[in-house]
Amino acid sequence: MLDRRFIRSNPDVVKQAVRAKGLDLDVDELLAVDQRVRKLTTELDEAQAQRKSSAKEFARADEARRAELRAAHKELESRLGQLREELGEASAQLQELLLRTPTIPWAGAPVGDESANVTTRSWGERPEFGFTPLDHVELLEKRDWAEFARARKVAGERAYALKGPAVLLERALHSYALDVLMERQFTVISVPSLVTEMPLVGTGQFPGHREETYAIPADDLYLAGTAEVALVGLHSGEILDKNKLPITYAGISPCFRREIGSAGRDVRGLLRVHQFEKVEQFVICVADDEESDRWHAELLDTAERLVQGLGLAYQVLEIATGDMGAGKYRMNDIETWFPSLNHYRETHSCSSLHDWQARRANLRYRDTDGTIRFAYTLNNTAIATPRLLAALIENNQTADGGVRVPEVLRPYLGGRELL
């Protein structure tokens, strides 16, 4: 969502962003609707002012004059009704279009679709096995650390149940992430996954990607795909004091995704599941591009250090305009090495949204000079399991099906070096 006034005065910039992001949005139509809304607003204002003054006069008028006013009012009322209806329709149309306006992407983003993504750096050594490594499913089943067939009996496709040391290892990953984030002064917060529509619109999940979210129609609730949803919603409608910013959260929550766009893909194992656990980094900062850029770098750095701490090889991608989504200013994915896939696979996604989400969520702050501004938001994964758990298991397996525990996780596993 962009500022109407910005769109009015920079239609070409917006059009270019729409093109670069491959979106379906008619900016000229938006401008026309915007103009119509303003015209109707002015007309309604005038009619309403008239209604007010005649109601005032009524109180002091004699009976003859009152009869006149009643008659005149009837006419005015029908005009008001018509204007309200027209304005209501136009406003709804405008809102619908505004919700689809993209953030202007940063100048350094590769232009194009997914194939234009650029690998900017890689870190770590891919493991060399002196034996034929198992994939995570084989390994988990060999050790009896998971139930797949039985879990699917209860919860359908993509379901899983972790058992024994796999559970402890998953928890260790989350504890590790929380400790690192707390060290960086992030506030740990556990948030609802079961949410209303409001925060989903706020994050930008709705209305564009409704079908990816589980709905519970009986209660008008939804299951959020990430803690980011609740975190954006938490401060929505507020005007924060500038000195409260930045707000830095380490949000934890179960995450739910329908994965309807990927039917049949990654159905095996833990790579793409409907329900998972995630620690999310989330920042609300002042509306300053440079500060936002600094946070973006920091969130990305934190995620990289988390993966480095685990000793996993990864690469960082600069995401192209057409692959980053409407709301993103900049996006970098971290892809971690999966031996069984023989390639890197997305495990983290770092995004700067500028004020795109804040506008949707009406999340503002009062600047030093008293001006009220929309804040900037950023988010990045810290740890998402079981996908990262699968990477950890595959990369750290031993010839006999053991799993070496990275040093950073040992404190959470009673000091054990091998599972």
- Provide the binding-site residues for RNA, judged by CB under 7 A: 4-5, 38, 41-42, 44-46, 48-49, 51-52, 54-56, 58-59, 69-70, 73, 77, 239, 364, 372
Tell me whether residue 44 or residue 341 sits nearer to RNA (CB atom). 44
Q: How far is the CB of 38 from RNA (least distance, A)?
A: 5
Residue 387: active-site member: yes
Annotated active-site residue in 100, 257, 345, 359 = 257
Tell me whether residue 26 or residue 85 sits nearer to RNA (CB atom). 85
Residue 349: active-site member: yes
Q: How far is the CB of 45 from RNA (least distance, A)?
A: 4
Of 154, 173, 149, 385, the C-alpha closest to 267 is 149
Q: How far is the CB of 41 from RNA (least distance, A)?
A: 5
Annotated active-site residue in 84, 272, 366, 373 = 272
Annotated active-site residue in 51, 346, 366, 404 = 346
Annotated active-site residue in 158, 359, 364, 387 = 387
- Encoded tokens for 377: 């938001």
Decide: residue 407, CB within 10 A, 0-12 exposed, 13-18 middle, 19+ buried: exposed
User: Radius of gyration (Cα) for the chain, nearest Å?
Assistant: 26
Tell me whether residue 287 or residue 334 sits nearer to RNA (CB atom). 287
Q: How far is the CB of 205 from RNA (least distance, A)?
A: 21
Residue 272: active-site member: yes
Q: How far is the CB of 95 from RNA (least distance, A)?
A: 12
Annotated active-site residue in 193, 236, 340, 349 = 349
Residue 257: active-site member: yes
Return the residue matching tokens 């008001």: 80
Tell me whether residue 5 or residue 107 sits nearer to RNA (CB atom). 5
CA distance 200 to 204: 6
In this structure, are strands 194-195 and 364-366 parallel, antiparallel, or unpaired?
Answer: unpaired
Tell me whether residue 56 or residue 343 sits nearer to RNA (CB atom). 56
Catalytically active residues are: 257, 272, 346, 349, 387
